[in-house]
Chain A
Amino acid sequence: MDSTLSRSISLKINGRAVQATVDVRHTLADFLRHQLELTGTHLGCEHGVCGACTVLVDGRSTRGCLMLAVQANGREVTTVEGIAALDGTLHPLQQAFKDLHGLQCGFCTPGMLTTLVELLGDNPDPTEAEVRVAISGNLCRCTGYQAIVDAALAAAKTMRGTAPAGGVR
C-alpha cells in the first residue's frame, strides 16, 4: 500500500461538522490528537488493551487506536472534550470523579469517562459489579479503580434524579 495515500472525510466531532484530508493509515486517535489537536484522547498502548484512547463512535465506545481515521467518515465521534455541557458545566460523571477522587494522574481518565458515559446511557442504574465489568477494558495504574467505581455509581444516582436524562453532545 502507498503509505502516503490520503482521502477526504467528513464527520461530526463533539457536535461539530469536520471535513479533513487524512492519510489512510492514520488512526482515529492520531487524527484527533495531532491533526485536530483534540489532545484529550490519550494513547497508552496503541494495541487496544489499555482503553485510554476510548472515544464514542455513534454512541458506542471504540478504541481510537484500533480504528482508522477514514473509517470514521460519516460517523459521529464524541471525545472527552465533548462530554461537559456547552456552558462548561461538568457532566455528572466528571463532577463525581472530581468529588470522589476518581482520578490521579488523569491519563486513563478520558477513556474511563467515555466508557462510563456509554454504560450509563444503556443502564442508568448499574450495580457495582456491572460498573466494574464496564471498565474492565480500561487500565488505571493510579487508583485501584475503587474511587472510579464509586464515582460512576454516584453519577448514575445523580443522573437518575435529573430529568430529562443526560446525553452527550
Chain B
Amino acid sequence: MITAATTAMPPIVDPSRPGDSLIGASVPRLEDHALLTGRGRFVDDIHMPGLLQAAFVRSPHAHAAIRSIDVSAALALPGVHAVYTYEDFRPHFATDRLVVGLPSSHYKQDHNRQVLAADEAVHVGEPVAIVLADTRYIAEDAATLVDVDFDPLPAVSDCRAALAPDAPLVHRESPHNLLAEFDMKYGESERVFAEAKHVFSESFWQHRGGSHSIECRGCVARHDPLEDRTTLWTSTQMPHAAMRVICEILGLHENQVRVATPDVGGGFGPKLVTYPEEICVTLAARLCGRPVKWIEDRREHFIATTQERDQYWDTEVAVDDDGRVLGIRGSIVHDHGAYTARGINLAHNSAENVPLGYEIPHYAMNVKVALTNKVPVTPVRGAGHPQGTFVMERLLDRVARELKLDRAEVRRRNMIPPEKMPYRTQLKARGGQWVTLDSGDFPACFAEALQRADWEGFPARQAAARAQGRCIGIGLSNFVKGTGRGPFESVTVRIGPSGKVHVYAGAAAMGQGTRTMLSQVVAEQLGRDLSNVTVTTGDTAATAMGLGGSNSRQTVVAGSSAHVAAQNVRAKVLKVAAVLLKATEAELEIVGNEVLVVAQPSRRVELGAIARSLVGTAGYSLPGGVSAGLEATEQVLIDDMAFSSGSAVVELEVDPETGGVHILRLVFVHDAGRMINPMVIDGQLAGGIAHGIGNALFEWMGFDENAQPVTTNLGEYLLVTSTEMPRMELHHRESPTPGNPLGVKGVGECGVIPMTPAIMSAIEDALSPFGVRINQTPITPAQLYALIAQGKQA
C-alpha cells in the first residue's frame, strides 16, 4: 500500500483565524480530485440509454458547388438510423444561418455560416450531412457512403491574393473577397513621417495555428418530450450564446432549450464559437426522438474547428536621433476564412495592441480583412494581441540596431512612466470606449525582468560561448494585454436550508480553475470554508444570463460579481443572525457554516438555520424585517478593460549546423493586479508561455495553393512537448486595478503575448555573426538553416 504523504503542501486557510485570507492563497484546486481519479465528466463520458452516435459528411473541396446528395447507400447500412441533409432540416429552420458576428460598422459584406451546406461548400471540412448510427464506427462507415456530387470551383488560399482584382471569388455570389476594411489611427502620421529624421520599414508574416485543446469539440443532445425541452451538453466556452443561437435557428423559446457544459478539456478560444454541429446535433435529437452524441476527432479539429492563421504586415516606424518613436504606420491583410464566425475582432486587437505599452504619439494602421476558402478564423489564446506586440517589439529591435543602441535602452526611452497612470491612450476599443491603461509600473517590471535575467551580464556569456563556437542569444519583449472584457458576468450566491453556499455563475470553466476561484472569492465573505461551497457554471438552466469564457475575463467579471453578491449575502446573514442571537452585527463573524458572537463563541447559529428562517413559514413574519430568501444576484458592470502587463527575457542557443533552437533561460515578470490564487496564476502563465513558444518555433497550419489543408494530424502539426520547454522563471508584481472591486486582472492569455518577439529577438542576437533577420513567425529549423547559409555566403 502507498501512503499519501504529500510534498510542498500549500498553505491551507484556517477559517477561524481572521487573518487567514483566502484571497491570495494558493489553495489546491477543488476540481482536481475527480480529474485525477478518472471521474471527471467530459462530454464523451456521457452515456445514456438509446444514444445514437453522429458522424458528419464534410466537403473535401475548398470550394465546390453541390449538385446532388444521394444518401441511399448510407441508409441501407445496418445500424444506421438516419441521414439528414440541408433539405431534411430546412422545414425546421426559422433561419438557416448562424448570425454570430460581433457588431461593427466596417463590414463590407455578411457571410454567416450555414447549418449544413446547401448548394455551395466554401472550405474543406464544411459539414454537408449528418449520419446517425448505433456506434461511431458504423456512423463513420456510413458517412463515406453518402454520395455528394461536388462540382469543384476555383478556390482562394492566400489572403493577399484574395484581394487581387482578378482573384477567384470565395463565395460565388460575392462582389469581391474584401470582408471588411478599417483604419485605426490617431495623430498626424503623414506630417510626422515626412519630417522624421529616421524612418525604417519592415514587412512581417505572422501565422498562428489552432487551439488544439487536447479534448476536441463534441456535444450530446437529448430531447425530453415530457418537458418539451432539449438539453445540449457541449464542450463550449459560451453556453448562453449557444442557447440563443439554437433558439433563433430552430424557432424555439428559452424554456425549450438548455445548454450545459460538462467538464471541458481546454478551450483556448475556438470553443467560444457556436458551431453548425451543435445545431445539427440538437435538431437531429429532436427529429429522431433519441439522444445523439457527436465527438469531433482530431482531423475534424484541424479542418472544422476555427483557428487563427495569417496576417501580412507592411509597417514603418519614425524615430528621432535618440530612438524615441515619433510614429508608426502601415497596413495589415488579415486572413478571415470563408465565414464570419466571430467578427473582425482579431484584426482589431492586433492593430490596437501595437502601440499599447509605449508612448507612441502618432499611429495609423489600415486593416483589410480578406475572405479565403478556409475554415473561419476566430480567437486562439491571445486573440490577435500577440501579433501586435510582435510588430511593436520587432520595430524597436530594428531601431536599436540602426541607431546602435541597447535594445533595452530603446524600450526604456519609450515606455509609459508610472506617474502617467491611468493613461488614456488615443485608441478606441471595439465597443467605442477609450482605451485607458488602468495601472501598472511598466518600467519597473521591465527592469526587474532584465535584472533577474542578468541582461547586463549577457555580453560576457555570449563572448564565452562564441569562443567555444556556440551561438547563444538573448531577447526581450514587453507587453500589455487588455483583459476582463465586460460588460458583466452574472453570479448568484445562495445559502440553502442545508447551510451550503451555492454559487451559480454565467462563467464557463474550461480548465482554468474557475470553480476554485469563485469558491475562494465567495468563501472569503461567508465563513472561509471551501468545502461548504458548491459552484455551478456553464448551465443556462442555472443562470439566465451569461457571457462565458473568453478574453481572460472570468476572474475579473465573474469574480467581481461573486464578490459583491457574497458581500450582500453576508450583510443579510449578519443582520438576521444579530436578531436570532440577540447581538449586534459588529459582534458577529461567520466561521465555517456558523455565525458566532466572537467574544462568546457558544452563542452561535448555523447558516442553514438562518436560511431556513428566510424561506418563510406561512403566517409568520421574517426575522429582522429583511426580504425573503438568503441569496443575492449581481452583474457588476465593467466597461473598461483591466490591463495586465509584463516583460519576458529569453536566452537561447541556435545550432548553426541544424537550425535547431534550444531555450536556455526564460524569465517572465507579470502584473495581474491582485492575485486570488498565485499557484493557479503560475499555471495559466506557464501554459500561455508554452503556447507562445509553439507559435514561435513549431505550429504551422499549412494549406496548399488550392486551400487544401496539408497539416491535419499531430505528426504534421507540431505542439510543444516537455523536452522543448525550458524551466520557466515566473515572477509577479501586483498593481491592483481600480477598475473592479477585487483589483484583479486577467491572466489566461498573457503568457502567449511576448513570446514570439522575445524569441525572434534572441535568435537574431544569437545569429548576429551571420546577419540573420527574422520577420516572420513561426520560424522552422530548415528556414533558419537557410538563413544561416545565406549569411555565411554574404
Contacts and interface: CB of A to CB of B under 8 A. Distances in A.
Which of A132, A154, A157: most chain B Cβ within 10 A? A132
A42 B43 CA distance: 11
Contacts of A104: 266, 511-513, 683-684, 687
Interface in B186-244: 211-216
A145 B215 contact: no
B467 interface: no
A107 B214 contact: yes
Interface stretch (B413-421, B601-609, B719-727): B719-727
A11 to B, nearest CB: 18
B91 interface: no
Nearest to A89: B4
Contact of B682 (A42, A101, A162): A101
Interface string A116-158: 0000000000001001110111111111111111000011011
B586 interface: no
Which secondary structure dominates chain A's binding surface? loop
Interface in B428-448: none
A97 B39 CA distance: 15
B690 A162 contact: no
Contacts of B35: 103, 105-106, 109
Contacts of B38: 38-41, 79-81, 110
B10 to A, nearest CB: 7
Contacts of A110: 38
Contact of B32 (A50, A98, A154): A98
Which of A25, A33, A39, A89: most chain B Cβ within 10 A? A39
A140 B724 CA distance: 13
Contacts of B141: 3
A105 B513 CA distance: 8
A138 B725 CA distance: 13
A142 B7 contact: no
Contacts of B689: 144
B622 interface: no
A26 interface: yes
Which of A95, A135, A147, A166: most chain B Cβ within 10 A? A95
A94 B683 CA distance: 17
B212 A141 contact: yes
Interface string A31-57: 001100111111111110110100000
Contacts of B723: 132-133, 136
Contact of A144 (B1, B39, B138, B725): B725
B214 A89 contact: no
Contact of A43 (B33, B44, B720): B44
Contact of B7 (A25, A40, A158): A158
A149 B7 contact: no
Nearest to B680: A101
Contact of A105 (B2, B212, B214, B751): B214
A162 B265 contact: no
A141 B722 contact: no
Contacts of A34: 47
Given A47-B713, A105-B510, A141 B37 contact: no
B263 interface: yes
Given A34-B47, A44-B214, A99 B264 contact: no
B358 interface: no
B36 A98 contact: yes
Nearest to A159: B2
B625 interface: no
Interface string A56-96: 00000000000000000000000111011100011110111
A144 B687 contact: yes
Contacts of B727: 128, 146
Contact of B683 (A52, A85, A91, A143): A143
B721 A99 contact: no
Contacts of B511: 104-107, 142
Contact of B214 (A4, A52, A90, A94): A52
A28 interface: no
Nearest to A14: B38
B214 A108 contact: yes
A136 B7 contact: no
Contacts of A162: 2-3, 5
A137 B723 CA distance: 10
Given A3-B138, A107-B215, A141-B266, 13 more contacts: A39-B42, A44-B214, A46-B298, A85-B4, A95-B4, A98-B28, A99-B28, A105-B214, A106-B35, A138-B721, A139-B719, A144-B725, A166-B2
30 contacts: A3-B138, A39-B42, A42-B214, A42-B215, A44-B214, A45-B713, A46-B297, A47-B298, A79-B38, A84-B37, A85-B2, A89-B1, A89-B4, A92-B5, A97-B32, A98-B29, A103-B32, A104-B683, A107-B214, A107-B511, A109-B36, A113-B36, A133-B722, A140-B214, A140-B722, A141-B691, A143-B686, A144-B687, A144-B689, A146-B727
Interface of B: 1-10, 28-29, 31-42, 44-45, 47, 78, 135-138, 141, 211-216, 263-266, 268, 297-298, 510-513, 679-680, 682-684, 686-691, 713-715, 719-723, 725, 727-728, 751
Interface of A: 3-4, 23, 25-26, 30, 33-34, 37-47, 49-50, 52, 79-81, 83-85, 89-92, 94-101, 103-110, 113, 128, 131-133, 135-149, 154-155, 157-159, 161-162, 166
